[in-house]
Homo-oligomer: A and B are copies of this chain.
Amino acid sequence: MLPFKTLIIIDESSSVAVYRQIADCLIVMITDGVIQPGTFLPSTREMAVLLDKHRNTIVAAYEELITQDWIETLPRVGIRVALDLPLIKPRSFQEGGKNKTYSDPAKFSFRHDIPGPVQHSFPLKRNSIIVNDGFPDADLAPFDSMLREYRKLMQGSRLKTLMSLKDFGGTQALKNSTVNFLNDSRGLNISTDNLLITRGAQMAIYLAAAMILKPGDHVLVSDPSYYIADEVFKQLGANLIRIPVDEHGIDIEGVENALKSTKISLLYIIPHHHHPTTVTMSQLRRTRLLELIRSYQLPVIEDDYDYDFHYNNSPVLPLASSAHNSNVLYIGSFTKLLAPSCRIGYLIGAANFIIQATNLKRLIDLRGDTMMEEALSVIINNGELDRHIKKSKKVYNERCDQTSLMVANQLSHAVDFTKPQGGLALWLKFKAEYPLGDIISKARSAGLLFAGTAYYEGEDQKHNGMRFGFASLKESEMQRAVEILRKITI
Contacts and interface: CB of A to CB of B under 8 A. Distances in A.
Interface of A: 11, 14-16, 20, 23-24, 27-28, 31-32, 64, 68, 86-91, 94, 97-112, 114-117, 119-120, 122, 124, 130, 132, 135, 137-139, 143-144, 147, 150-151, 154, 159-161, 163-166, 168, 172, 183, 187-191, 194, 199-200, 202-203, 206, 210-212, 228, 231-232, 235, 246-248, 282-287, 290, 297, 299, 313-314, 316-317, 320-328, 339-343, 348-353, 355-356, 358-360, 362-372, 451, 472
Contact of A99 (B106, B108, B191): B191
A353 B248 contact: no
B189 A356 contact: no
B366 A27 contact: no
Contacts of A165: 120, 130, 132, 451
A322 B87 contact: yes
B472 A164 contact: yes
Counting from the closest, the 7 A-B pairs by CB-CB distance are A106-B350, A114-B359, A27-B283, A202-B366, A163-B340, A341-B370, A116-B359
Contacts of A150: 143, 147, 150
Contacts of A286: 88
Given A88-B287, A138-B163, A147-B151, 12 more contacts: A11-B247, A68-B284, A88-B283, A99-B189, A101-B190, A111-B210, A111-B212, A116-B356, A130-B165, A202-B363, A228-B362, A341-B369
Contact of A360 (B159, B210, B235, B359): B235
B284 A23 contact: yes
Contacts of A86: 287
A431 B248 CA distance: 68
Given A16-B248, A168-B119, A105 B363 contact: no
Contacts of A124: 161
A86 B339 CA distance: 38
13 contacts: A11-B247, A27-B284, A101-B320, A112-B352, A114-B359, A115-B359, A119-B168, A138-B160, A206-B364, A339-B371, A341-B368, A341-B369, A343-B367
A106 to B, nearest CB: 4
Contact of A120 (B166, B246, B313, B317): B166
A326 B107 CA distance: 8
A486 to B, nearest CB: 22
Contact of A343 (B16, B108, B122, B366): B366
Contacts of A282: 24, 27-28
Contact of A247 (B16, B64, B367): B16
A359 to B, nearest CB: 4
B100 A189 contact: yes
A108 B350 CA distance: 11
Contacts of A313: 32
A16 B249 CA distance: 11
A274 B235 CA distance: 32
B105 A351 contact: yes
Given A166-B451, A284-B23, A104 B365 contact: no
